[in-house]
Structure 1
């Protein structure tokens, strides 16, 4: 039961953070959401900072597994890039939500150093994965005009994360699509 409660807390917290931001979530919200006493949450997470660390750690593992699955299921750089864009599109939930990494990035000042460090590791890992996609694009020719894979990776990551923020702030999924059009249109 304890592990189920922990998982339920993490699931509820992730959903709330993605929709409200980290600052907009309290232990009282979590307790109400899964039907436990607020004090019981402290058994699993002593502080809200501990919760943030558990959230990004779990999210990092899941997201990197999704990137590995993209590699396993696609062979071209363009297919990988398009699948990557789909991950962010799905997470945006038609402008109602943000990826957890984006939601936490927006309120980094509220996070403990350990969480900020893990979030930075997450971004480095995703950027490194994107760099391999753009390096593959240089050899397979399925993404137009790749000159500097490292710079392309950094720009692509900023573009999709910024696109989510734009779509969320306007509650308009078309804003996400418009913001990533330049990336999508480069895929052959």
Structure 2
């Protein structure tokens, strides 16, 4: 049962962070949502710092698996880029939530050094993945106008993250679509 409770806590906490940011929920909120005593949460996650580290680990593993699926199911750089854009878009839940990493970036002042390092690691790995997509797109000529895949990757990651924030601010996924249109149109 402990694993099920731990998973339920992670699920509820992730939704809370993505919808209300890191400081927008408490252990009391989690306890009520999962149906346990607040003190019981501390058995699984002694602090909010340990909870946020576990959230980042799980999110990174899930996102990594989704990116590997994109790599195995799409042959061209353009198809991989479009699939990655869709992955980011779907994380918006129609503008009601953000991707976990994007949300946590905006809560940086409240995070432990360990979680900040996990965010940096996640973003570095995403930039490397996007760079590989642009390198493939340059080689197979499926993405136009690529001068430097590494620079393109950093710009694309910044665009995806800021488009997330804009869509969340307006609670409108169309805002995301409009923001990434220039990136999509290169495919």
2:49 and 2:65 mapped to 1: Cα distance? 24
Aligned equivalent of 2:169: 169
Shift of 1:109: 1.0
Q: CA deviation at 1:94?
A: 1.3
Shift of 1:156: 0.5
Alignment of 1:124-139 (within 5 A): 124-139=124-139
Q: TM-score, normalised by structure 2?
A: 0.99
Root-mean-square deviation (CA, aligned residues, Å) is: 0.6
C-alpha deviations, 1:21-80, integer Å up to 9, x for none?
Answer: 001011011001110000000000000010000000110011011111100111100000
Q: Displacement of 1:171 after TM fit?
A: 1.2
Q: Equivalent residue of 1:136, what SS?
A: helix
Task: Identify unmatched segments of 5+ residues in structure 2.
Answer: none
The Cα of 1:184 is off from its aligned counterpart by: 0.6
Q: Structure 1 CA distance, aligned partners of 2:65 and 2:173?
A: 26
Q: Which residue of structure 2 lines up, in the alignment, with residue 52 of structure 1? A: 52
Deviating above 3 A after TM superposition, structure 1's stretches of 4 or more consecutive aligned residues are none
1:81-106 per-position Cα deviation (integer Å, ceiling 9, x unaligned): 00000111100111111000101011
Using the alignment, how far apart are the partners of 1:129 and 1:173 within structure 2? 24
Stretches of structure 1 that go unaligned for 5 or more consecutive residues are: none
Give the TM-score normalised by the residue count of structure 1: 0.98
In structure 2, distance between residues paired with 1:68 and 1:173: 25
